[in-house]
Amino acid sequence: MTPIISAAELAAELAGPTPPVLLDVRYRLGGPHGRPDYEAGHIPGAVFVDLDAELAAPPGDGGRHPLPDVAAFGAAMRRAGVSAGTPVVAYDGDKGWGAARAWWLLRWAGHARVRVLDGGLAAWDGPLETAVPAPVEGDFTPRPGALPLLDADAAAAVARDGLLLDARAGERYRGEVEPIDPVAGHIPGAVSAPTGENLDAEGRFLAAGDLAARFSALGAGPDGRTVGVYCGSGVSAAQQAVALELAGYVPALYAGSWSEWSGDPARPVATGPDPS
């Protein structure tokens, strides 16, 4: 199953015999909580999912958005109505980051039928509602391991022996600014690949061929090298993972990302435009 769905395709599926479970994952890095936006209007039937509370564990040694406890994540998804055999569509209101986090976690946990609404809520031209649904509890049980996951040591190995993409803005990669984490710079050997370059001017993913050309130019190729991705805390990197899958790769996500890496003073840091 392709990792994205258009607004027109979603409207058709919602009107069909097996409508997908809809997850509203509106989230902004450092911004206000997404719940008020959800309550002001959401795609009919969508359930709000709190990224900080339900798609991540509390901040700590594992970074600002560590992976959630598997049992707690499964319970949150069941409350949202997710079942093993039911398709799921996640959307957000900005860049696809929050929706991609839900997509990646569900895929990693063994759910095969998950997609991101291409273009997010802005692409939806159907009705919105303010009523909060009460979905029938689902039966989804997480079985982690369906997608590759990197820890800090494995990310360093991919940066050395494969291709590790840094999904943050270029100025953060270069170490010119660091508004959130304690140290500026990037993992030595990682290649800058900002997530904004995966999208067109309307916020939709580029065509698969264009994405493949982008990642090929960054060093990905058919030689079997592992392609890994990280960001600040493992959220925007999930959007990069969607783009990589569209381009034909099976990306490995470093969930702790820069917030975990930079929290350990023993780990090396590179600055400037060059990977090393």
Tens digit of each residue's pLDDT, the chain (276 residues): 899 999 999 999 999 999 999 999 999 887 789 999 999 999 999 999 999 999 999 999 999 999 999 999 999 999 999 999 999 999 999 899 999 999 999 999 999 999 999 999 999 999 999 999 999 999 999 999 999 999 999 999 999 999 999 999 999 999 999 999 999 999 999 999 999 999 999 999 999 999 999 999 999 987 656 899 999 999 999 999 999 999 999 999 999 999 999 999 999 999 999 998
Dihedral sign, CA of 239, 244, 250, 253? negative
Cβ contact 159:90 at 8 Å = no
Segments making up each domain of the chain, as ranges = 4-123, 149-261
Report the C-alpha gap between 25 and 38 in whole angstroms: 9
- Quote the pLDDT of residue 226: 81
Query: Which CATH number describes the domain made up of 4-123?
Result: 3.40.250.10
* The predicted structure's pLDDT at residue 222: 77
pLDDT at residue number 223? 63
Q: 3-state SS of the chain?
A: CCCEECHHHHHHHHCCCCCCEEEECCCCCCCCCCHHHHHHCECCCCEECCHHHHCCCCCECCECCCCCCHHHHHHHHHHCCCCCCCCEEEECCCCCHHHHHHHHHHHHCCCCCEEEECCHHHHCCCCCECCCCCCCCCCCCCCCCCCCEECHHHHHHHHHHCEEEECCCHHHHHCCCCCCCCCCCECCCCEECCHHHHECCCCCECCHHHHHHHHHHHCCCCCCCCEEEECCCCCHHHHHHHHHHHCCCCCEEECCHHHHHCCCCCCCCECCCCCC
Annotated catalytic residue, options 105, 184, 220, 231: 231
State the pLDDT at residue 224. 57
Regarding the domain delimited by 149-261, which CATH topology (the fold level of the hierarchy) does it fall under?
Oxidized Rhodanese; domain 1 (3.40.250)
d(CA 106, CA 100): 10
At 116, list the tokens: 């991101």
Contacts of 11-18 with CB under 8 Å at 24 or more apart are 11/126, 13/87, 13/89, 14/44, 14/45, 18/86, 18/87
- The answer to whether the 4-123 and 149-261 domains have the same CATH topology is yes
Instruction: Establish whether 196 is a catalytic residue.
Output: no
Q: What is the pLDDT of residue 207?
A: 97
